[in-house]
Structure 1
Amino acid sequence: MFLTIILFSLGLVLIVKGGDLFIDSSINVAKISNLPEILIGATIVSLATTAPEAIVSITASLRNYTQMSVGNSIGSIVCNTGLILGVSNFIKPSKVKGKFTKLKSLMLIVFFAIFFIISNDRMINHSDAMILLVLLSIYILFDLLVINYKKSSSINNEVTYMKKDLIKILFLFLIGITGIFIGSNLLISNGIIIAKFIGVPEAVISLTFIALGTSLPELTTALTALRKGHSSLSVGNIIGANILNISLVLGAAGFLNPLEITNQNIYLDFPVAFIMILILGLSCILKGRINKIIGFLLFAIYISYLIFLYYLYF
């Protein structure tokens, strides 16, 4: 068991470090394409920070650990919203500027509501997954339209790179994605062993430890933004990451292999995630900010959820 814990921890380290390299190289690629910085944060970074969740859930689905696929995705949404946004906005409240983030907040609420409805038959089958992937296409199209609009209406200094810099960026990109792949397999294999050893379902491990591990890139991004005085940037990143967890992560995993939805998902995990999303989304849409009270409320829901899970299985 000691070796299992070591390998599980190694998987987390590889995912975090691989995710870090992946994020940095993705941002550099975006800069090469001359995208405005605010758009990089709101779109490219969200996609990059969601890569660990996507790879873990897709790998789990291919290996028939479908409860882990669902648990990792929903657990990441709960962790992103309750822990990361909750704590960061309790420390320093965020203002949500512009219609772009508010529209994404509305999309997040609608997307999760659609997912909630199609999962009520206790299965995300091929057809359901196609619906989620269509939602992903809508989200990507929305982002592309906004990017084109922002590029045409903003002045942006072109960033130039030498050939050796481009090779380095590509190399770090490949190293990062490789680290995430290897770490994902270590995390899943040893997470299953740990779950069986302590007598809890694989879904619970994925809802807590694995979800926290794959959400560390979002946590790193939020803390960095907070330290540099740009706390509002992390809000757009988390909203985008949550949308991708629903549409990309669950859509791709369900397309490859039908995902089993448990009673715990329907009556506990999904409602908790939806309540958090509603609080976050409505705060952005109606008030245009996330204050300390909202931050504390999101964090309190997250802690209460973990405590409930603990007493449910121990």
Structure 2
Amino acid sequence: MTLSIAYILIGIIAVLWGADKFTDGAAAIARKMNIPEIVIGLTIVAMGTSAPELFTSVVSALKGSTGLALGNIVGSNIFNSLLIVGAAAAVAPISISQATIIKDIPFALVASLLLTAVCLDGNLTHIDSLLLLIGFALFLAYTLQIARNGKTEDSKTEKSQALWKSILFIIIGLGCLIVGSNLFVSGASTVAEQLGVSDAIIGLTIVAGGTSLPELATSIISARKGQSGIAIGNVVGSNVFNILAILGITGFISPMTNLGGITTIDLTMLILSIILVWAMSFTKYKIERWEGSMLIVIFSFYLGWLIYSAL
């Protein structure tokens, strides 16, 4: 138990430090290559911070822990939309571009609806996984199109940082994010298992929270630095990547014959969480501090329900 707690603490420290370096590197490259921060957030940052979810879900599915694999993704996305956006907005209001409201967030909503649809029969087959992967290919094509347009309304004029240094920051930061989150998940999962908690609940709470630490740290730090494009793009991109790419890959490698304890309430919460973020984005194209606080409160109630149902 003592070693597990040590893993948790070391993991948190590594994730926080890694997120700071990773964000600096990604933002610098965005400015240098004249690419909108929202594109960097939707792609490089989102995929990088979702690496722990990919690793955890694939390994869990291969070991037969479908509840842990699916719960990790569903829980991570709820965690992203409610707690991460909420915490980032509570630190500093997040400005949302019109393009993000019209295209990016709806894409994340469609991904959530698609996942719910393919899970209605209680299975995730090869065909279901292929549909998810096709959706991810379309998402990538869309973000690349944004990059080609070269619209840089999010970028700020700052002192240029050497390219090699930016890349080094990204590599070191990403390494700390992955190692730190894995240490956190390993320690937290061990503690939860010793307390007799089910795979689905562990996936929705402990593992989802642990693998989402990179997104949490990255979005909060980005918001504090005034990089709203990365802060919101990280969350939206991670949600899309988690569902379409990670579950697509996981289900294709190891089809899931049952949902492992994931309920319709969890899937409904998944959809409602992104709808809430979308609705709040329409208020002056910004998520204010009070709205962020509201998201945190809603997440707290959901987490409380999960804990209560596990007792």
TM-score normalised by the shorter chain: which range applies?
0.7 to 0.9
Aligned to 2:308: 311
Q: 1:73: how far off?
A: 1.5
- Which has a greater percent of helix? 1
Percentage of matched positions with identical amino acids: 30
Q: What is aligned with 2:147?
A: 147
- The change in CA–CA distance for 1:280 and 1:152 in structure 2 (over 3 A counts) is closer
Deviation at 1:3, TM superposition (A): 2.4
Cα 1:113–1:290 shift into 2, 3 Å: same
Deviations 1:27-60 (A, max 9, x none): 5665665534453344322222222222222233
Do structure 1's residue 193 and structure 2's residue 190 form an aligned pair? yes
Q: Residue 137 of structure 1 aligns with which residue? A: 137
5+ residue gaps, structure 2, are: none
**Residues 163-203 of structure 1, C-alpha deviations (whole Å, 9 max, x = no match):** xx73x666665555555555565555554433321011122
Shift, 1:18, TM fit: 5.2
2:123 — aligned with what? 123
- How far does residue 138 in structure 1 lie from its aligned partner after superposition? 0.7
The reply to whether residue 298 of structure 1 matches residue 270 of structure 2 is: no
Query: Aligned partner of 1:73: which letter?
Result: I
Q: Give the distance between the partners of 2:287 and 2:182, measured in 1 at CA.
A: 36
TM-score (norm 1): 0.81
Q: Is contact 2:92–2:224 with CA below 8 Å preserved after alignment? A: no
The reply on whether 1:266 has 2:226 as its aligned counterpart is: no
Q: Equivalents in 2 of 1:307, 1:190: separation in Å?
A: 21
Moved more, 58-67 or 33-42: 33-42
Q: What SS is found at the alignment partner of 1:265?
A: coil
Match of 2:248 among 247, 251, 274: 251
In the alignment, which residue of structure 2 is the partner of 1:68?
68
Q: Does 1:49 align with 2:52?
A: no
Give the CA deviation at 1:293.
5.0
SS in 2 for 1:301: helix
- C-alpha contact (below 8 Å) 1:21/1:173 kept by paired residues: yes
Label 1:103 to 1:259 Cα distance change in 2 as closer, same or farther (>3 A): same
RMSD over aligned CA atoms reads 3.5
CA distance in 2, matches of 1:233, 1:178: 19
Structure 1 gaps of 5+ residues are none
Query: Is the alpha carbon distance of 1:29 and 1:225 closer, same or farther for their aligned partners in structure 2, counting shifts above 3 Å?
Result: closer
> How far has the Cα of 1:231 moved from its partner?
4.2
Change (3 A) 1:185 1:239: closer
